[in-house]
Amino acid sequence: MGGGLSRHELAAAVSEAGGLGTIAVNGAAAIGRELAAARALTGRPLAVNLLLPFARRDWFEAAAEADVVVTFWGRPRRRTRGVWLHQCGSVGEARQALAAGADGVIVQGVEAGGHVRGRTPALQLLEQARAALPAQFPVLSAGGVAAAADVRAALEAGASAAVAGTRFLLSEESRAHPAYKERLLSAEATILTDLFGAGWPAPHRVVPNAATDRWLPSSPRRSSFLGYSPTKDERQLARAPRANRVLNRALAPGARYAPPALQLRMALAQRPGSRLLGPAGPSDEGPPTLVEAGALYAGETVARVDEVRPAAALVADLTP
Ligand SMILES: Cc1cc2nc3c(=O)[nH]c(=O)nc-3n(C[C@H](O)[C@H](O)[C@H](O)COP(=O)(O)O)c2cc1C
């Protein structure tokens, strides 16, 4: 989970408990620092996640110190000599990753939190990918995993492992802002949108806040909740108004080169009524104004999660 939401505390706790913890921070120095801090907490394998549109060569060099490099978004290309997994949204993309020399793929279902690559439900995509790829090629399943039964279903459908984001966002170790965690605990619905697309105009799944109320007034809401089943609307893309999208696309080519100080200034200035809404989520270090003005990333499982727990307890809970 990028933007510094998953750092050494969470990654080390997950790995120490028997999972594969993943660090996701921006910049070579931060990657090196977080990895060293995690290594001090666990001797078990660790992963680093990098977004292909933004990661520069020195980020990959720093990430090469991890046991696994996981990439996301964009044409899969081997940029590390070590173990490489690519997260995909379609069978076609998974095939491209295999051809590019990936050691395995994560196939991400539409129910996932954060940026959402495809439009197919996780188990369906997993079955399609399993049928299309060589039997020995590792296929991991992401999206909709928040309980041991979800992991079991993924393994039974042929997954080599299950990947969970949202459930670990609601761990004690995640660096989400406390008010962001509070929002998620009471959330009942999610929205798949391109609203927070300034600099990265790509679909993402969030829970409602003042910014989505302002710009996506007809997006899904549920006031009562008895057993969770996502509405069809939650799987449709709630598009930002055209003027916002034009601005987002115009900014995209430059975003890769925006210095961190400028990105921070933009995040500080962001208000729910701003047309330019960037992808930064509210971390415990970031401006608290992002709780209303920023992207509250979460997957559909958020409706089933009602407790913040230590990451080690979550790994145990998820083990079938
Ligand atoms: C808060 C948040 C941030 C995320 N950031 C990233 C990211 O930076 N890179 C990435 O590959 N995936 C990212 N994801 C997506 C996850 O890798 C994964 O596909 C997703 O969490 C699985 O679905 P789930 O949220 O239902 O568990 C993020 C997910 C969340 C919830």
Q: Nearest C-alpha to atom 21 of ligand 1 is from which residue? A: 165
| Predicted confidence (pLDDT) per residue in 142-153, tens digit | 999 999 999 999
Pocket of ligand 1 contains residue 302 by CB under 6 Å: no
Tell the residue number behind the tokens 């921006």, with chain if given.
26
Q: What is the pLDDT of residue 229?
A: 65
Please determine, for residue 255, whether its predicted confidence score (pLDDT) is greater than 90: no
Contact 14, 21 (CB under 8 A): yes
Pocket of ligand 1 contains residue 10 by CB under 6 Å: no
Atom of ligand 1 nearest to the CA of 164: 27
Pocket of ligand 1 contains residue 212 by CB under 6 Å: no
Distance 114 CA to ligand 1 centre (A): 5
Q: What is the pLDDT of residue 262?
A: 80
Contact 154, 197 (CB under 8 A): no
Please determine, for residue 220, whether its predicted confidence score (pLDDT) is greater than 80: no
Please determine, for residue 22, whether its predicted confidence score (pLDDT) is greater than 90: yes
| Predicted confidence (pLDDT) per residue in 95-136, tens digit | 999 999 999 999 999 999 999 999 999 999 999 999 999 999
Pocket of ligand 1 contains residue 283 by CB under 6 Å: no
Pocket of ligand 1 contains residue 180 by CB under 6 Å: no
Pocket of ligand 1 contains residue 200 by CB under 6 Å: no
Atom of ligand 1 nearest to the CA of 144: 26
Instruction: Say whether 33 sits in a helix, a strand or coil.
Output: helix
Pocket of ligand 1 contains residue 1 by CB under 6 Å: yes
Q: Nearest C-alpha to atom 6 of ligand 1 is from which residue? A: 1
Distance 245 CA to ligand 1 centre (A): 23
Which residues, 6 or more positions from 252, have their beta carbon under 8 angstroms from its beta carbon? 199, 200, 201
Q: Which of 198, 170, 162, 201 is nearest to 297 (CA)?
A: 170
Burial class, 39, CB count within 10 angstroms (exposed 0-12 / middle 13-18 / buried 19+): middle
Per-residue tokens: 212:
């989505």
Q: What percent of the chain has pLDDT over 70?
A: 97
Q: Give φ, ψ of 7 to 5 degrees.
A: -120, -160
